[in-house]
Copies of this chain bind each other. A is one copy, B any other.
Amino acid sequence: MIEIEKIYGIINEGDIDKLKNELKNYHPVDIAELLDELLPEQCITLFGALEFDDAVQVLEEIDTDKRYFILTNIDPDYASKLISEMSSDILADFLGELKNGERKKILSLMKEEDKKELKNLLAYDEDTAGGRMTTDYIAFPQHLKAKDVLDRLAEIAPDAETIYYLYVIDSQGKLVGVISLRDLILAPEDAPIKEFMKTDVKKINVSAPQEEAAQMIQKYGLLALPVVDDNDVLLGIVTVDDAMTVTEEETTEDILKFSGSDIDKTINFEEISPWSRAKRRLPWILVAIAGEIISGRVINNFSEALQTIVALSFFIPVLMDMGGNVGTQSAAIVIRGLATGTLTTASMIKNILREAVIGAILGLINGLVVAAVTYVWQGEILLGVTVGIAMAINLTIAAALGTFMPLFWHKMGRDPAVASGPFVTTLLDVLGLFIYFSTAAKILKL
């Protein structure tokens, strides 16, 4: 843990050497968090006391605004050196988030070669493997020997994102193999890398979705995944920590979409105004209103029945809510099953039937409970039977529909999470009310 008070004290004393010594005890990730607690000028003081490597890592961890502030308020030559050592994927995202004028200012600090490399990276859509990759990988030509590679590593290592996987390319830059650092140090010194490299390399196309890269990294337990173009030319790598970030972002997106509130991939509560957040949530809500107006019309159609037995309206909430609950539960289970790969569309019909059975079990039990409550409350046995039967049918349909919807959208190649939540609920409300009043009309002879 960082002792913030202590750091405050040292900064205020202005004792840079003491600050330098103190900061050596902390991890750059923790120092990055600490910067959020400091005033702008204190940030600059603290940043100036960091060792070069730590400063680079801190820069990689802090957010866009703070990063821009620091880079434009320190010595330009030092800023230029720091930028040059930053991971290319972070730098590309950074530039993408800046306003035009700011971007120019940062670009003016960059070396020509770094600019060129970045331009290439910025060309890829940020949701693709290309948009997520870094170009700071290590590759060797295939004619080298183990010893040569080990010798060269010492020079290259500091710039690379990972040195645990070393890629092997041919004269055209095509990916032909991979050696792990593990294999390299276990290999005889004069063994040609061609002999002990793995040729069956897991790789991904530069235009593939970033989730696919994350899933491959997780599935095969990789530390990094090479990204290639259509001709198998090596362009970059996606690392395991990027994969974790992608998975986290995608899960957030799924959850928010499911609840009809997908506002942003990286929710940042402070930065988005209530008005724009309201705007993003509005469309689904308006769609749901349209649906619920239909529910109202269903009730309208049975308004004579309702006038005869007002008590029918007392059970509208419980029927609507239960249908929604069971449907949403089923949908959540299916969406999560699809996201983690434990569920496939192959067994679609089987799964819908299984869910319907669960719905029927839940429906029967709840139907009995509600029928009993209704009878005790209203003293009307037929009203109890009506509510009980409607509940049982409702929950069976709710479970089946909650399962079917996401599987259907998934099969259609669409994102199963999109509005499954509100959409399923609204549809179930309309169906549920119709079933309820139809049952009432039959049993109570209205």
In the complex, how many angstroms separate the beta carbon of A185 from the nearest chain B beta carbon?
6
B362 and A278: CB pair below 8 A?
Answer: yes
Instruction: Indicate whether A293 reaches chain B with its CB closer than 8 angstroms.
Output: yes
In the complex, how many angstroms separate the beta carbon of A213 from the nearest chain B beta carbon?
13
Which residues of B lie under 8 Å from residue A422 when comparing CB positions? 325
Which residue of chain B is the closest to A154 with respect to CB atoms? B186
Most chain B CB within 10 A, of A185, A285, A342, A347, is at: A285
A336 and B256: CB pair below 8 A?
Answer: yes
- Docked CA distance A223–B388 (Å): 56
Instruction: Indicate whether A71 reaches chain B with its CB closer than 8 angstroms.
Output: no
Within residues 286 to 334 of chain A, which ones have a CB less than 8 A from any CB in chain B? 286, 288-289, 291-293, 295-297, 299-300, 303, 306-307, 310-311, 313-318, 320-322, 324-326, 328-333
Which residues of B lie under 8 Å from residue A306 when comparing CB positions? 310, 313
Q: Count the copies.
A: 2
A interface residues, how many (CB within 8 angstroms): 106
B27 and A200: CB pair below 8 A?
Answer: yes
Residue from the list B268, B354, B370 in contact with A289, Cβ < 8 A: B370
Instruction: Indicate whether A426 reaches chain B with its CB closer than 8 angstroms.
Output: yes
Known: A316-B316, A318-B292. A332 touches B259 (CB 8 A): yes
- Docked CA distance A267–B355 (Å): 14
A163-B182, A289-B366, A313-B313 known; 10 new pairs, CB 8 Å cut-off, are A223-B223, A259-B331, A260-B325, A263-B333, A278-B365, A282-B362, A282-B365, A299-B316, A303-B310, A306-B310
10 contacts between A and B (CB under 8 A): A255-B332, A261-B332, A269-B342, A269-B343, A278-B362, A285-B326, A285-B366, A299-B314, A299-B317, A300-B314
